[in-house]
Amino acid sequence: MRVTLQPSGAVLEMLPGEGILDAATRLGYECPQSCRNGNCHICAALLVEGRVLQAGVTLNHGEIYTCLAEPLEDCIVMWDGVLARGELPVRKLACQVSECVEVGGDVWRVGLRAPAGKPPRYHAGQYLMIERENGEKSAFSMASAPHCGRDLELHVLVREASAQSLIEQLQRNRIVHIEMPYGDTHLAELPEGPLVLIAAGTGMAQMHSLIEHCRAKGFKHPVHLYWGVRRPEDFYELSHWDEWKQLPNLHLHKVVSDLCGWEGRCGMLHEAVCEDISDLSSVYVYGSGSPAMIYATLDALVSAGMDAHQMRADVFAYAPRA
């Protein structure tokens, strides 16, 4: 017997005689609840299809209390606020602009501070939406990690008018409205094996968050970072780069694609990865960059022996390949 929850789309496989709330909790979902006896009504939901038994009464529509309701057949239930394991609710916050500075490569580091008593909840690698003065919203990966508390960090590439106008807004108005968190390319749980982090340009922000989270959690497996830009001057300052150099399990690689003649590596990011790592079957890969770069990297690594499911990138969600 199944209960389908809307709007999340979660499907609960029920055990005999099991209540809807009990099933959702058993399967790892976080649900609105309190008393578990039908008095507080916090777990209330709307029965859309099917029949349930609640306190000895059979119901086929209307409001039900999921702590009491036992399905008698397949049901569809409208139940807001149900979150899958590791999923966090999207919240709106009014943040103070604590920093807005140039760090090289036409990149600005932006610091935001959430209100006291409202620490932002997110997983390392997720992104937020900034509300602009014209009402539009822009997405930026968080370079900070959850252990940073109220302080959030963004890396903004300022080469177009829209980015320049955002920086001017942040300099002019010291309060900015954000929504967060978004994205499933995160480290809610640390993997049991080596990490390969591949970033193009300010895609480094997302990888910065992952590395800082691994560092805070004492992650012991090897972490290989590949940071690519077109020209050497496109690299920008990272606050913790010198500290990262001291970590024995963190291997840092800067790669330039368009201009050789500098002291570091040249070529494409996926070429550097394949040169360094002969066996890609046991690594966990995270990528951040343009759709073209991400899919080229995916194809190259799959050709070199990686299973496609080993790579995660936000591009796969917002720009799926036909």
CATH topology of domain 2-78: Ubiquitin-like (UB roll) (3.10.20)
What does the CA dihedral 167, 169, 174, 179 come to, rounded to 10 degrees?
A: -90
Domain definitions of the chain by residue range: 2-78, 91-182, 195-318
Architecture in CATH of 91-182? Beta Barrel (2.40)
Q: For 58-111, how does the pLDDT look when each residue is reduced to its tens digit (9 = 90+)? A: 999 999 999 999 999 999 999 987 877 777 888 899 999 999 999 999 999 999
Q: For 248-293, how does the pLDDT look when each residue is reduced to its tens digit (9 = 90+)? A: 999 999 999 987 677 888 899 999 999 999 999 999 999 999 999 9
In this structure, which CATH number among 3.30.300.20, 3.90.280.10, 3.40.50.620, 3.40.50.80 belongs to the domain 195-318?
A: 3.40.50.80
Q: What number of CA atoms fall less than 13 Å from residue 53's CA on the CB side?
A: 8
Q: Does pLDDT of 14 surpass 90?
A: yes
Q: For 159-210, how does the pLDDT look when each residue is reduced to its tens digit (9 = 90+)? A: 999 999 999 999 999 999 999 999 989 998 899 999 999 999 999 999 999 9
Identity at 307, one-letter amino acid code: D
Mean pLDDT (the chain) is: 93
- Give 10's pLDDT tier (boundaries 50, 70, 90): confident
